[in-house]
């Protein structure tokens, strides 16, 4: 039986009087790819930021592997690679300098070799000496994915990772996520690109108004049209 690498239990998050997440519970196992889908404002970004230690919940528990996130956030962070709406890169540093900075934060050995490896994997090995702010949005996203992979994390969290990527780069990201399965990682990502997301995931968790309203394995839909029937019903319910 595969180890659970992301365990979320009864998670709540409020912003003032508004519920962003309410009683959210699910697991992601080793070698599993799970897509988070739902309308704007459903809570997808908030959920990923909390799991990624960038925000705190009001209630509930999260474990990354066997690490309780609330008690040991630094240890949990070392096991997580995160791609969000921000690149978390320093604009005036080169791509190499940014990756070197993060590699030193993670106290990685053989830093130069590791930087070259991840840069080659995302296709930016020839742009490492470019200042980050001069890179296109797509190249900055590739650099961000390289940062995510740098320390070989057990858990990959990606919030709308296809934003700004061209077709070649999007296919590359699909391959990186697919490779995570035999590598024994857990992948949790949000996307509005349902066709692409459903093609790569093992399960789809549907969020609406901060709640998990469906947790669907691949067997629950035959194809994109089958999923869209379910999704459309979810969006119409309790309007």
Give the tens place of pLDDT for each residue, 105-125: 999 999 999 999 999 999 999
Residue 25 pLDDT: 98
CA distance 206 to 43: 10
Judge whether residue 60 has pLDDT over 80: yes
Taken in order 141, 169, 145, 128, the sign of the CA dihedral is negative
The model's pLDDT over 14-30, given as tens digits with 9 standing for 90+, comes to 999 999 999 999 999 99
* Residue 218: per-residue pLDDT: 84
What mean pLDDT is predicted for residues 62-79? 96
The pLDDT value given to residue 222: 74
Whether residue 154 is predicted with pLDDT greater than 70 in this model: the reply is: yes
In this predicted structure, the answer to whether residue 40 has a pLDDT above a threshold of 60 is yes
Which pLDDT belongs to residue 80? Answer: 98
Task: Report the candidate in 213, 190, 193 with the shortest Cα–Cα distance to residue 84.
Answer: 190
**What architecture is the 1-79+186-239 domain classified under in CATH?**
3-Layer(aba) Sandwich (3.40)
Identify the band that residue 149 occupies on the pLDDT scale cut at 50, 70 and 90: very high
Token output for 183? 């590598």
pLDDT, tens digit, for every residue of 74-97? 999 999 999 998 899 999 999 999
- 142: nearest Cα among 154, 125, 155, 157: 125
Q: Considering the entire predicted model, what is its pTM?
A: 0.95
Query: For residue 41, what are the contacts with CB-CB under 8 A and spacing of at least 6?
Result: 209
For the chain, give the mean pLDDT: 94
CA 167 to chain centre: 19
Domain ranges across the chain: 1-79+186-239
Residue 237 has pLDDT above 80, yes or no: no
Give the per-residue pLDDT at 239. 53
**6-26: string of b/e by CB count within 10 Å (b at 16+)?**
bbbeebebeeeeebbbbebeb
């Amino acid at each position: 039986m595969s180890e659970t690498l992301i365990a979320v239990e009864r998670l709540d998050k409020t912003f003032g009087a508004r519920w962003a997440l309410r009683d959210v519970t699910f697991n992601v196992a080793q070698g599993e790819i799970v897509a988070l889908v739902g309308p704007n404002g459903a809570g997808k970004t908030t959920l990923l930021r909390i799991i990624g230690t960038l925000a705190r919940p009001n209630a509930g528990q999260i474990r990354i592997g066997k690490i309780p996130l609330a008690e040991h956030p630094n240890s949990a962070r070392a096991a997580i690679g995160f791609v969000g709406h921000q690149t978390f890169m320093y604009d005036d540093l080169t791509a190499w300098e940014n990756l070197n900075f993060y590699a030193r934060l993670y106290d990685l050995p053989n830093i130069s070799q590791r930087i070259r490896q991840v840069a080659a994997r995302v296709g930016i090995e020839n742009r490492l000496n470019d200042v980050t702010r001069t890179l296109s949005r797509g190249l900055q996203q590739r650099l961000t994915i390289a940062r995510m992979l740098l320390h070989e994390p057990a858990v990959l969290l990606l919030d709308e990772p296809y934003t700004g990527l061209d077709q070649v780069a999007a296919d590359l990201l699909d391959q990186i996520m697919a490779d995570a399965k035999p590598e024994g990682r857990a992948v949790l990502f949000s996307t509005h690109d349902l066709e692409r997301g459903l093609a790569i995931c093992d399960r789809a968790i549907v969020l609406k108004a901060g709640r998990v309203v469906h947790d669907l394995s691949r067997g629950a839909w035959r194809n994109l049209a089958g999923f869209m029937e379910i999704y459309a019903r979810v969006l119409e319910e309790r309007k």
